[in-house]
Amino acid sequence: VLTVFAGIAEFERSLIIDRIRSGRQAAKAKGVKFGPPPILTPEQITHARALVDQEGRTVKEAAALLGVHRSTLYRAFNKQEPTP
């Protein structure tokens, strides 16, 4: 009896996973963005890049001015296109 219940539970779990997967795909098709909102705006990232590239400040200093960790700033720099 326990084996039958385990099989039914496993089947139900696979159905749930399929429903979640199709729901996420439908939401993405509608333009829903998953995850937390971005911490830095594009203007803040541009400002931080100018501080580092033009004013010669360190990434740590620029991150402290914006109130974020330096790794957050490095990730933002990597996502944004480099300035010419």
Residues 6+ apart with CB under 8 A from 51: 57, 61, 62, 65
**Is the model's pLDDT at 83 over the cut of 60?**
no
For residue 10, is pLDDT > 70? yes
Predicted pLDDT at 81:
67
What pLDDT, on the 0 to 100 scale, is given for residue 17?
Answer: 98
Query: What tens digit of pLDDT does each residue of 21-79 get?
Result: 999 999 999 999 999 988 999 999 999 999 998 988 999 999 999 999 999 999 999 88
> What per-residue confidence (pLDDT) applies to 1?
92
Tell me the two tokens of residue 16. Answer: 């749930």
Task: Report pTM.
Answer: 0.58
Domain boundaries, the chain: 1-34, 42-79
What distance in Å separates the CA atoms of residue 7 and residue 13, rounded to the nearest whole number? 10
Amino acid identity of residue 13, one-letter, is R
